[in-house]
Structure 1
Amino acid sequence: MGAEIIQLVQQASPYLTAALGAYGGTVLSRAQDSAADATANLGRRILRAVWSRGDEGERATLEVAVGEALQDGEDPDAMAALRQSIKRALREDETLRRELAELLPAPSGTMVITASGPRSVAAQHIGTAVTGDNTRIAE
């Protein structure tokens, strides 16, 4: 069960990032937006599913995690806190796990790698990546 939860959250992560970028602070309350892309809408649906199944305390915790991820989008710890909040909800609710598994596209062998923020690098395998100005690499 633990591996299943980790896999669900890893699969959901790019959608969550897209939803936060597209919807900002209204991600938990906003209705589906036909102008937003499918990725952002799926991320919003995932967050709404987690939020709607929680009690007041769980909702408040998720709202704080979403707010911090929005404020500190460059900080990987902020997104990690959001993922932890979702993992906690998935551990406690088998129905929610099934719901999220149905929402997410089935793994197809295609890997999705997302880079977010200035000078970000996204790669499955990488040797050296340089994104800074005036950088010198000595061999």
Structure 2
Amino acid sequence: MDVEIVQLVGQAGPAVTAAVGAYGAAVLTRAQDAAAGATVSLGQRILQLVWRHRDEAGQAELERVLGEAADEQDDTYSTAVLSRLLRQALQDDPALREELAAVLPAPAPGTVNVTASGERSIAAQHIGTAITGDGHTAPRP
């Protein structure tokens, strides 16, 4: 897979997931809410961009997938479905890749983006041992 597509999906994925989580399938038609967070607004703009690059059948399919992702209780599953949708759209449409790259903020050199999603999630760039969960006891060194 094209490295550019992987990078674009990595940058756009969290925003798209946040937007679908906030608005569901209505994210495509909802007027931009002034109170919406920056991430949700970015995700909304990305999905509307993908929407505009599709024909009627593609738009209907996008609505269906967004509705399913919004109804899903598993954030990991929703993130995977939405990332797959973005990858496919970007693979099929070089013009969409250019437009999406223009919408996304350019990462600063050396910047690492780490996203944690879901209840009790953790995110770290460098970590020794991370143990999560109720009732777990780690052996002491």
TM over 0.5: yes
Unpaired runs of at least 5, structure 2: none
User: What is the aligned partner in structure 2 of residue 6 from structure 1?
Assistant: 6
Alignment of 1:21 onto 2:21? yes
Alignment of 1:57 onto 2:57? yes
Unpaired runs of at least 5, structure 1: none
Partner Cα distance (1:22, 1:75) in 2: 12
In the TM superposition, structure 1's runs of 4+ consecutive aligned residues that sit over 6 Å from their partners are: none
Partner Cα distance (2:93, 2:87) in 1: 10
Q: 1:65 deviation in Å? A: 2.4
Q: Which residue identity does 1:113 align to in structure 2?
A: V
User: What is the aligned partner in structure 1 of residue 44 from structure 2?
Assistant: 44
Identity of aligned residues (%): 54
TM-score, normalization by structure 2: 0.86
* Number of equivalenced pairs: 139
Partner Cα distance (2:68, 2:46) in 1: 18
Q: 1:75 deviation in Å? A: 4.2
Q: 1:3 deviation in Å? A: 1.0
Q: Cα RMSD over matched residues?
A: 1.9
Partner Cα distance (1:90, 1:104) in 2: 14
Partner Cα distance (1:65, 1:124) in 2: 31
Q: Which residue identity does 1:65 align to in structure 2?
A: V
